[in-house]
Chain A
Amino acid sequence: MSSSLADLRKTLGEDKVVTDPDILRIYARDPASFEFELPLAVVYAESADDVVNVVNYAIKNKLYITPVFHSTSLSGNAATVARNTIVLSSERMNKILEVSDVDWLAVVQPGIKIDEFNLELMRYGLQWPVDPASSKTATVGGSVINGGGGVKGAK
C-alpha cells in the first residue's frame, strides 16, 4: 500500500478503505465486461465529507476516481479502465434526507436504490419516474450520472 493510501485510511477510518486484490477485482468491472485495470483501493464513502476527502487526495496524488454505485451499467461506465484509480463507492450513502409532498421535492443520498426510493415515495403519492430495467438494484446517483432512462424516463 502506498503512503498516500495509508494517509487516506488514516483520514477516513480503517473500515472505509479496502486494498485487498480479491475485493478490488469485483469492484473493477460492471456487466459490460470491458477490460479493466485493477484499482488502487475501494473507498466506502458515508458522507459528503468523505467524498471531499477522497477528491482532495486524488488531486494531491494525481489519481483518477471512478464513482461506483451498484455497477449495473451495460456501457462500461462503472469499470475502472485507467491506471491509478480509486473506486469511490457510494453504496453506504443510501439515506432519504427529506421528502416534501407539498413542493414535490426529495433530498436523497446518491446510493439509494431506485425501487427503495420509490417505495418510500409511494407513501406520499409521488414517484421518481426514472426506471431503467435494472431499477431494482440501480441507484439514484448512478442513473443521474449515466443518464438513466426507462419507459417513464421522459416524464
Chain B
Amino acid sequence: MNLAELRAEASKCQFCGFCEYACPTYKTIRMRHFGPRGRINLIKNFDGELSEAAYIGIMTCLACRACDVQCPAGIKIAEVIHDFKAYILERKIYKNKK
C-alpha cells in the first residue's frame, strides 16, 4: 500500500479499542502507542515527521495479526503497520520531530 492507501485504511478507525484486547505488546507495556489503536492513529495523524516515542511504538509491532480479527471495521491493521514501517524505513523518517 502507498501512503494515501495507508491513510485511507487507517482513517476507517472508529477508536473503539477492541484491538487492544488481543495485542501482546499492549498487554505488556500498557501505553496506547504500543497497541494497534495507537499505531493506526499515529499513521492516520502522520504529517511527514515522526517523534521518537511514536517511532518506537510503531516499530515494536510484532505483526502477529491478533488485532486483525478483532477490528469491527475490518481494517487490515497488521498490513497497514507493516507497510508503514517499510515506508518510514525507506525514507529514513524517524526520530526527526522535536
Interface residues of A, Cβ cutoff 8 Å to B: 18, 20-23, 25-27, 29-31, 33, 44, 70-72, 89, 91-92, 94, 111, 113, 115, 134, 136-137
Contact = CB atoms under 8 A, between A and B. Distances in A.
B61 to A, nearest CB: 15
A113 B18 CA distance: 11
Given A31-B15, A136-B18, A136-B21, A23 B33 contact: yes
A92 B30 CA distance: 6
Interface string B5-21: 00000000011111011
B20 A137 contact: yes
Interface of B: 14-18, 20-21, 30-33, 37-38, 41-42, 45, 50-54, 57, 97
A26 B33 contact: yes
Nearest to A90: B30
B32 A115 contact: no
A137 B54 contact: no
B45 A22 contact: yes
